[in-house]
């Protein structure tokens, strides 16, 4: 089956399988820079629309409000906890013990019983700190606080380091900035070779390239689709987990529903892949020492 045909079957329940066997929803709501009631509503609307995953972080200071919205949804709809996938991330790369404490804090904040996926947010700190904090995450997995483990913003050198030191616990995911304007193909290729699932953050390039002609032309070839739908679909069709963020109900719903029932032609995938300009919207620590 072509990747376009596979995509036609995409729904909110579509999952990828991580190398530990865990299923991860392929589209999830991102909640960076959304706080308090705004964040609560975004998560609630997303779950009601059918999203099964929420991507938070200690840094975002919204683990508690995400957890509240998830728990209320679970109770109101008699949905089991196991149906929702919650990710959070380590803010500061300090030490083994501080990482263990941070994970316990996150667990308490979200109040979800366990964390589905715990990521080291960035590779800062140098090789020794990276090893220490990764070991802390692995031990949290062994203790049942965390089910899945991984990294974010790791470049090839950082990934290789972890693969060498932790052959029994290779990172399950690497969450990096990925959209047609920042394809990071060298990291993508390395992750594919090592069975590390890529999570595409900033899949919409923070809405800053919607007027691009190639993007608009591609969108024009699919009925009812716009630049946002095409950008998300490009990532899904590449096999990434997509994490579009919105606090606007119509966009939250549209980003999910607009991903269902269609796929991009290979020709459009290639044209979109050619838009790479290494657009960094926020930070790029993938090359830090
Ligand atoms: N690991 C990391 O270092 C890292 C870094 C950045 C992001 N992330 C994760 O990735 C998620 C997404 O990235 P992001 O928040 O940077 O950017 P993004 O998802 O590329 O773009 C979000 C922006 O696009 C707007 N938007 C969303 N859907 C739209 C639509 N259909 N039409 C028009 N505008 C739309 C949103 O506006 P409204 O909200 O006003 O609707 C918001 O301003 C984050 O929330 C976070 O979970 C991770």
Rounded Cα–Cα distance for residues 270 and 274 (Å): 6
Q: Do the strands 115-120 and 146-152 form a parallel or antiparallel pair, or are they unpaired?
A: parallel
- pLDDT score for 231: 98
* Residue 119 CA to ligand 1 centre (angstroms): 18
Alpha carbon separation from 98 to 10, 92, 95, 150 (Å, rounded): 40, 9, 5, 17
Question: Does 203 sit in the ligand 1 pocket, CB within 6 Å?
Answer: yes
Shortest-distance Cα residue to atom 10 of ligand 1? 201
Residues contributing to the annotated binding site for substrate:
121
From 246, 257, 279, mutation site for ligand 1 pocket: most ligand atoms within 8 A of C-beta: 246
Residue 285 lies in a domain: no
Per-residue pLDDT of 8-61, as tens digits, reads 899 999 999 999 999 999 999 999 999 999 999 999 999 999 999 999 999 999
In the chain, the number of structural domains is 1
Q: What is the mean pLDDT of residues 162-180?
A: 98
- pLDDT score for 7: 87
Per-residue pLDDT of 221-280, as tens digits, reads 999 999 999 999 999 999 999 999 999 999 999 999 999 999 999 999 999 999 999 999
Residue 61 lies in a domain: yes
Q: Is 60 a residue of the active site?
A: yes
- pLDDT score for 283: 97
Q: Which domain holds residue 94?
A: 3-280
The ligand 1 atom nearest the CA atom of 231: 20
Residue 77 has pLDDT above 80, yes or no: yes
Which tokens is 153 given?
Answer: 């913003």
Rounded Cα–Cα distance for residues 134 and 7 (Å): 34
Contact 42, 167 (CB under 8 A): no
Confidence label for 2 from pLDDT (cuts 50, 70 and 90): confident
Residue 214 lies in a domain: yes
Strands (E), the chain: 15-17, 23-25, 29-30, 53-55, 85-90, 115-120, 146-152, 173-177, 197-201, 241-242
* Residue 91 CA to ligand 1 centre (angstroms): 19
* CATH classification at residue 190: 3.20.20.100
The distance from CA 253 to its chain's CA centroid, rounded to whole angstroms, is 18
Question: Does 248 sit in the ligand 1 pocket, CB within 6 Å?
Answer: yes
Alpha carbon separation from 88 to 147, 166, 196, 237 (Å, rounded): 12, 21, 18, 25
Candidates 35, 40, 51, 60; catalytic one? 60
Residue 286 lies in a domain: no
From 244, 255, 256, mutation site for ligand 1 pocket: most ligand atoms within 8 A of C-beta: 244
Contact 220, 243 (CB under 8 A): no
Backbone CA torsion sign across 174, 147, 56, 49: positive
- N-to-C CA span, the chain: 42
Residues contributing to the annotated binding site:
121
Contact 133, 96 (CB under 8 A): yes
Q: What is the mean pLDDT of residues 214-227?
A: 97
Residue 287 lies in a domain: no
- pLDDT score for 4: 84
Residue 117 lies in a domain: yes
Residue 288 lies in a domain: no
Gyration radius from the chain CA atoms: 18
From 49, 202, 211, mutation site for ligand 1 pocket: most ligand atoms within 8 A of C-beta: 202
Q: Do the strands 15-17 and 23-25 form a parallel or antiparallel pair, or are they unpaired?
A: antiparallel
Residue 77 lies in a domain: yes
Confidence label for 200 from pLDDT (cuts 50, 70 and 90): very high
Per-residue pLDDT of 177-198, as tens digits, reads 999 999 999 999 999 999 999 9
- pLDDT score for 110: 98
């Amino acid at each position: 089956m072509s990747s376009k045909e596979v995509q036609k079957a995409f729904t909110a329940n579509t999952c990828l399988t991580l190398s530990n066997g865990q299923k991860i929803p392929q589209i999830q709501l991102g909640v960076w820079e959304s706080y308090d009631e705004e964040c609560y509503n975004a998560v609630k609307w997303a779950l009601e629309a059918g999203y099964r995953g929420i991507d938070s972080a200690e840094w975002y200071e919204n683990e508690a409000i995400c957890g509240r919205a998830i728990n209320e949804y679970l109770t109101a709809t008699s949905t089991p906890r196991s149906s929702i996938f919650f990710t959070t991330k380590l803010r500061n790369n300090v030490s083994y013990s501080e990482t263990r404490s941070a994970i316990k804090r996150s667990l308490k904040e979200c109040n979800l019983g366990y964390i589905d996926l715990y990521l080291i947010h960035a590779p800062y700190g140098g090789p020794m700190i990276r090893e220490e904090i990764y070991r802390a995450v692995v031990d949290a997995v062994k203790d049942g606080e965390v089910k899945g483990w991984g990294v974010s913003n790791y470049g090839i050198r950082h990934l290789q380091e972890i693969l060498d030191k932790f052959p029994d616990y290779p990172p399950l995911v690497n969450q990096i900035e990925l959209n047609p304007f920042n394809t990071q193909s060298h990291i993508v290729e390395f992750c594919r070779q090592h069975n590390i699932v890529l999570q595409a953050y900033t899949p919409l390039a923070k809405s800053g390239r919607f007027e691009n002609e190639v993007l608009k032309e591609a969108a024009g070839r699919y009925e009812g689709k716009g630049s946002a739908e095409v950008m998300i679909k490009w990532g899904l069709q590449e096999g990434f987990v997509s994490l579009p963020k919105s606090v606007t109900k119509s966009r939250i719903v549209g980003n999910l529903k607009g991903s269902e029932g269609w796929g991009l032609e290979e020709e459009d995938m290639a044209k979109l892949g050619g838009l790479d300009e290494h657009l960094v919207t926020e930070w790029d620590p993938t090359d830090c020492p």
